[in-house]
Structures are given as structure tokens and as C-alpha cells.
Amino acid sequence: MISLSDLRQFKQQGRKFSCLTCYDASMAKAMELAEIDSILVGDSLGMAIQGRDSTLPVTVADMAYHTAAVRRGNQHAFLLTDLPFMSYATLNDALVNARTMMQAGAQMVKMEGTAWLAETVQVLTRNGIPVCIHLGLMPQSVHVFGGYKLQARTRAAADQLIADCQAVVDAGAALLLLECVPAQLGREIAELFPGVPVIGIGAGVDTDGQVLVVQDMLGLTFGRVARFVRNFMKEQSGETAITDAFRAFHTAVQDQSFPAKEHTFQVEL
């Protein structure tokens, strides 16, 4: 089973690592066969599985249920799980709900936020719970942002995001996830934190890992497709098509053919 230490070693070696969202045991097994490095049990299940308009209605019980299913199906990938909306608003909430995810099979919990999360990161880490912080576009704050939009478009905004990363890393964050930021910023942050792996989604090719929502990369997106999505199912056929699509994603991340220029946001900062 891949560990946090392995992800850190991948970064030191310059080996890019793959990450996909997953919500059930059968897809988890296919990802194991494809040797996907890490899995995110994301609160994106609210939209992808439950048919919601956003991630906000997802509960702690939902996340624990899907985490346990994924862990039963996959004994290879590093497994991180989202703490859903408002489940870490207080330190006590964060401790209780993070414990639930770890006992369900997660190896790390992920929270969305900025420097204000530093104390929560510190307390969770002190209690043996590794933490990933999700910055940039944060879906749980979609109503604050006014929609799903590119973040950190200016140098000042980019510097603020870097400062937020520094604050949570200083507090003990072991992983960063950047969503929908300029490629230049993704590269800067990956270089600024040599001991902390950085996963990107719409953050350019120079982050240490790449994540996509599994339905998106299988071409199961109905409606507008985000710029950073690539359909890896298009070139597959036969009984093993889904596993082959996962394997193609893994290979494309490792050889850095994904994300290509057309999947990134090029903004001069």
C-alpha cells in the first residue's frame, strides 16, 4: 500500500503520481489493477453520485460509507477523504469527524480553506491525522466565489495564496491540492515546498500529482466540460476499457503528456 512517505519520495525523485476520485469498491479495484497511486474519496460524490447541484449537502456519514467501500476494493493506492461542508467548523468537529474518516479506512483527510485552518491542521496532526489542504477554487465555498472560476489571476492574489500555503504547511499540512489556478502558480508552489507533495487539478503540469474526477475522465460528464478535463475513455474498447482508461491516465501523468497546454490556464503573473 502506498504511504505518505512514498508520495514524498516520488516528489524527491521527480516522479509524477496519479490520483483519481473514487466512491465504490468496483471502481476502486479497477484502479488497483491500473496501479493508480492515490485515490480521493471526494465530496464531489454529491454531484457525481447523488445528483446534487453542489457538494454542500454531502454528510459525514456519506463520506465514511464511501471511504469504507473504496478501501475494501483497493489495497494499493494512498487513500485520502474529504471532510464535507461545515464538518470542521470547530476544532472538536474536526477531531470527531476526522476520526470517523480514519476509522473508515482513510490515510489522510482533506479540508478546503486558507490560513485560518492552521490551528485545525496543527491539532489534527498532533493527534495522528495527516492533513491535505485544498486551495484555489474551493467547491464548498462556491457561493462565496460566485461560481466555478479561475482563481489567483493577479500577482497579488497569487502571493496571497502562497502565503496561505505557507501558513498551513507551517502548521503541519502534509499535502496541498490546488484547483483551477494559473499553471505558473502551480509550478511556483510545487517548487516552494520541497517536502510537501502538491496535487493539481487545472493547475498545470508542474505539480507533483494530478487528480481528476473519475466520471469526467471516463467521459461521463453531461453538460459543460471543464477546461482541465481529458476524456481517457475515447481510445479504449473491449472488456477492460475502464481499467485501460485508468492505466492511460496514470501513464499520461507520469510522462507529463497530461495535462497538456490546452488543459491549463496560462496567465502571466
The catalytic residues are 179
Q: Which of 197, 196, 156, 157 is nearest to 180 (CA)?
A: 157
- Secondary structure letter of residue 54 according to DSSP: S
Please give the helix or strand (H or E) that residue 71 lies within, else none. Answer: helix 60-73
CB atoms within 10 A of CB 54: 16
Alpha helices in 74-201 (DSSP H): 91-104, 118-126, 142-145, 155-171, 183-192
Helix count and strand count (H, E) for the chain: 11, 8
Residue 220's DSSP bridge partners are: none
Residue 177's DSSP bridge partners are: 134, 199
Report how far residue 47's alpha carbon sits from residue 17's, in angstroms, rounded to the nearest whole number.
Answer: 25
| 220-229, Cβ contacts within 8 angstroms, sequence gap of 24 or more | 226/148, 226/202, 227/202, 227/262, 227/263, 227/264, 227/265, 228/180, 228/201, 228/202, 228/259, 228/263, 228/264, 229/263
Q: Which residues have C-beta within 8 Å of that of residue 30, sequence separation ≥ 6?
A: 242, 243, 246
Please give the helix or strand (H or E) that residue 175 lies within, else none. Answer: strand 175-179
Residue 118's DSSP bridge partners are: none
